[in-house]
Structures are given as C-alpha cells and as structure tokens.
Structure 1
Amino acid sequence: MRMRVLLLGKSSLLGRALTVQAAAEDIEFLTLEEEPADWQPSAIAGWLDTLQPDAVVDLAFYHQQFQVLAPTAEALDQHTAFARQLIAECQQRDLLLCMLSNTRVFDGSKGQPYTEKDPLQPIGLHGAQQAALDSLLEQCCPRHLLLRFSWVLDSSEGGLLQRLISQLCSGETVVLAEEWRGNPTPVADMARVVLSALKQLDCNAQLYGCYHYASGEMASWISFARTLAQELVSCGRIEREPGIEPVAFETQPAAAVEPRNAVLSGRRLLHVFGIKPRTWRIGLPELLDKKIP
C-alpha cells in the first residue's frame, strides 16, 4: 500500500482482525508504540506530526460503538471529544479519515433496508452522539470514508454475541424480541470490508463518502438465535436447543437504544467498490471456537 495509514485502535478486536488480514497481503499499518488506556484529544496532533500519515483509520472506540448496550454519558463524551479533535486535525492536514458508524443513527421505523440517502433520525443518547459525529465528518473532511455496519459479532466478553450465547447456554427458556431485524456481521468480514475499501482508495480512486455494508443475509434476532443454538448443539456446547419465547420488541432493554429495523442496504458499496456481501453463517464456527463461556 502506497498510503501511510495510521491505525488507531490496533488492540481492538476489529484492529487485530484488520492487522492480520493486511499482513497476509504484505500490508503494514502505522501504529502507536503503546496505545493509551484512554484516548485523549490533546495527543492527536503529536501522533500525526510524528508519524506523518496520509490516512487515518479510527477504531479507538470500536468496542463502545458496536458491543456496549448502553454506554455511559461520560464514555460518550470522551468519544465525542476525541473524534471531534481527530476530525479537526485531519481536516487541517487534508488527510483521508476513515471512521465507523452504526445503525443507532436510525429510529427503525422504516419498513425497508436503510440506504445512505435516508435522513439520520437517531435513537437514544448513543444514536444522537453517533449521528452528530457522522454529520461533522461529512461536513468537515472532504476526504473521508464513513462505513456503517449493523449487528457486529465478535468474541468480546459482554458483547452482542456473548450476551446471546449466555442466554442460550443458561438452560432456561430464552426470551427474545420479535421483529428485531438486522445484518449480523462477523468482525472478520467487517475487517475485510475496511481493508478492501482502503486498497481502492490507495489507488487514487476518489470514492469518498458514506457507505453501508449489509451481510449477505438479513436476519431477525430470533432466527439468528436459532441458527446460533444449532451451532452450539453441533459443537457440543449445549445438549439441545433451548425454547425461545418471542416477546414484543418494546419490552426488551435493547428497544431503548437500538432500532427495531437495523437492516442496511449495501448496494452502493457493491456498485462503487465492488465489495460483495458474505453470509454471516460462514463466520459463526470461527467465532464460537474462540468463545467459551
């Protein structure tokens, strides 16, 4: 890769997956020698001046963006301050800035998959914060790549996937929300998308903007849970599939912070970058091998 790309958040699960996939293609990222325990906005200018990157990939708050059900107000403020300063520094230096977004920027009332043209109508504090950062990036950085994902599956403790696995392995009937729909996306597939887009931008393709990635198969949360339960049975983690009791989406804690419809259309990403969707099913075995309650 000709661009010097600074990867912030290399120690995150997405950062690790991205680094591994890049290394397989002899691509190396610029990284900080030691990543901070908390990301301070005041340190950004020094990093950029020292490392002199051409582009920045911001994964510093990946876990909070995609795995934490309800981040605290303090955590959201920390993310906001860091992202705002990073946007300002990249704008000043005319650097390409790649940031991530989630489906909390939509209220879930639309009956069809969300596209990049849909107006932002965030749900909850996290959604409002994400929508504000998305808008700021698009307004301030002409050379930006904003990649929006739906349900991201990784092996993190307390993350989206692990919370469901814990329910399925509890031995009790599992209560799950009806009509909660989204695009399950294994973290390795997410890394593939980020790397594929960066490689094309490295070829001087002027493909800046916001793009949605949709895995090859939309799912309801209940249908995803049933497939996951089958995988848990087949690998000997549980003896039999647990009973599932559907309940109204509004009765579940996720309803306060997640859109009922979290399905994205990835058509623009496919047409512009040629990045084809993959079904989430092929990524489950690897995730389950790494995740033992």
Structure 2
Amino acid sequence: MRMRVLLLGKSSLLGRALNVQAAAEDIEFLTLDDEPAQWQPEEIAGWLEYLSPDAVVDLSFYHQQFQVLAPAAEALAQHTRFAEQLIAECRQRDLLLCMLSNTRVFDGSKGQPYTEKDPLQPIGLHGEQQAALDTLLEQRCRRHLLLRFSWVLDASEGGMLQRLVSQLCSEQTVVLAEEWRGNPTTVADAARVVLSALKQLDCNAELYGCYHYASGEMASWISFARTLAQELVSCGQIEREPGIEPVAFETQPAAALEPRNAVLSGRRLLYTFGIKPRTWRIGLPELLN
C-alpha cells in the first residue's frame, strides 16, 4: 500500500483482525507504540506531526460503538471530543479519514433495509451522538470514508455475542425480543471490508462518502440465537439447545437503545467497491472457539 495509514485502535478486536489480514498481504499500518487507555484529543496533532500519515483509520472507540449496550454519558462525551478534534486535524491536513458508524442512527421504523440516502433519525443518546459525528465528518472532511455496520460480532467479554452466549448457557429458558432484525457481521468480515475499501482508495480512486455493509444473510435475533445454540451444542459448550421464549421487542431493554430494524442495504458498497457480502455463518465457529 502506497498510502501511509495510521491505525488508531490497533488493540481493539477489530484493530487486531485488521492487522492480521493486512499482514497476510504484506501491508503494514502506522501505529502508536503505546496506545493510551484514555484517548485525549489534545494528543492528536502530535501524532499526526510525528508520523506524517496520508490517511487515518479510527477504531479508537470501536468497542463502545458496537459492543457496549448502554455507554455512559461521560464515555460518549469523551468519544465526541476525540472524534471532533480528529476530524478537525484531518481536515486541516486534507488527510483521508476512515471512521465507523452503527445502526443506532436510525429509529428502526422503516420496513425495508436502510440505505445511505435515508435520513438519520437516531435512537437514544448513543444514536444521537453517532449521528452528530457522522454528519460532522461528511460536512467537514472532503476525503472521508464512513463505513456503517449493523450487528458486529466479536469475542469480547460482555460484548454483544458473549451476552447472548451467556444467556444460552444459563440452562434456563431464554427470553428474546421478537422482530428484532439485523445483519450479523463477524469482526473478521468487518476487517475485510475496511481493508478492501482502503486498498481501492490507495489507487487514487476518489470514492469518498458513506457506505453500508450488509452481510450475506439478514437474521432476526431469535433465528440468530437458535443458530448460535446449535453451534454451542456442536462444540460441546452446552448439552442441548435451550428453550427460547419470544416476547415483544418493546419489553426488552434494547428497545430503548437499538432500532427494531437494523438491516442495511449494501448495494452502494458492492457496486462502487465490488466488495461482496459474506454470510456470518462461516465465521461463527471460529468466534466460539
């Protein structure tokens, strides 16, 4: 890769997956020697001056964006301050800035998959914060890549996948929301998408903007849970599939934080970058092992 790409958040699970895939293609990112426990906006200018990147991939708050059910207001404010400063610094230097977005920017009332043209109607404080950052990036940074994902699955303790695994392993009937739909996406698949887009932008293709990635198979949370339970039985983590009791989506804590419909359309990404969707089923065994 000709571009010098600074990867912020190399220690996140998505950062690790991205580094592994890049190394397999002899691609090396610029990284900080010691990533801070708390990302401070006043340090950004120094990093950019010292490392002189051509592009920045920001995964610094990946876990909070995709794995934490209800981030604290203070944590959201910290993310906002950091992202705002990063956008300002990249704009000043005309650097390519790649950031991530999630489906909390939509209220879930649409009956069809969400496209990049749909207006942002965020749900909850996290959604409002994400929508504000998405808008700021698109308005301020000419050279930007905003990649929006639905349900990103990784092996982080307390993350989206592990919370469901804990429920299924509890030996009790599992109560899950009906009609909660999304695109399960393994962290390795998300890394593939990020790397594939960067490689094309490295060829001076000015394909800036917002793109949705939709994995190859939409699922309801209950259908995903049943598939997950089958995998847990296969790998010996549980003896039998637990009973699942469907309940109204509105009765679950996630209803105040997540859109009922988190399904995305990935047509623009496919037609522009040629990045084909993959089914989440392929990577599920690896995540559980």
3-state SS of paired residue (2:68): coil
Alpha-carbon distance in structure 2 between the residues aligned to 1:75 and 1:250: 26
Gaps (5+ residues) in structure 1?
Answer: none
Q: TM-score scaled to structure 1, two decimals?
A: 0.99
Q: Deviations over 1:87-131 (max 9, x none)?
A: 000000000000000000000000000000000000000000000
Corresponding residue of 2:30:
30
Tell me the distance in 1 between the aligned counterparts of 2:219 and 2:18: 25
Paired residues, number: 289
C-alpha separation in 2, matches of 1:147 and 1:75: 22
- Specify the alignment match of 2:222 in structure 1: 222
Give the secondary-structure state (helix, strand or coil) at the position aligned to 1:190: helix
Deviation at 1:223, TM superposition (A): 0.1
Partner of 1:185 in structure 2? Answer: 185
How far apart are the structure 2 equivalents of 1:231 and 1:76? Answer: 35
Q: What amino acid is the match of 1:27?
A: I
Q: How does 1:32-71 map to 2 (within 5 A)?
A: 32-71=32-71
Give the distance between the partners of 1:239 and 1:8, measured in 2 at CA: 41
**Cα distance between partner residues in 2 of 1:6 and 1:196:** 16
Does residue 260 of structure 2 align to residue 242 of structure 1? no
Q: 1:58-102: per-residue Cα shift (whole Å, max 9, x none)?
A: 000000000000000000000000000000000000000000000
What percentage of aligned pairs have identical amino acids?
Answer: 89
Matched, 1:10 2:10: yes
Q: Map 1:109-120 onto structure 2 (within 5 A).
A: 109-120=109-120
Give, in whole Å, the separation in 2 of the partners of 1:234 and 1:37. Answer: 38
Give the structure 2 partner of residue 156 of structure 1: 156
Whole-Å separation in 1 of the counterparts to 2:46 and 2:37: 17
Q: 1:258 offset after TM fit, Å?
A: 0.1
1:165 counterpart residue number = 165
Q: CA deviation at 1:224?
A: 0.1
**TM-score (norm: length of structure 2):** 1.00
Structure 2 Cα separation of the partners of residues 142 and 33 of structure 1: 29
Name the residue aligned to 1:103: 103
User: For residues 171 and 115 of structure 1, what CA distance do their matches in structure 2 show?
Assistant: 39
Note the alpha carbon deviations across 1:25-79, whole angstroms, 9 max, x for none.
0000000010000000000000000000000000000000000000000000000
Residue 152 of structure 1 aligns to a residue in which SS? strand
SS of the residue 2:250 aligns to: helix
CA distance in 2, matches of 1:252, 1:159: 17
In the alignment, structure 2 segments of 5+ residues that lack a partner are none
- Considering only aligned residues, what root-mean-square deviation do their CA atoms show, in Å? 0.2
Q: Which amino acid aligns with 1:153?
A: L
1:259 corresponding residue in structure 2: 259
- Displacement of 1:276 in angstroms is 0.1
Q: Deviation at 1:137? A: 0.1
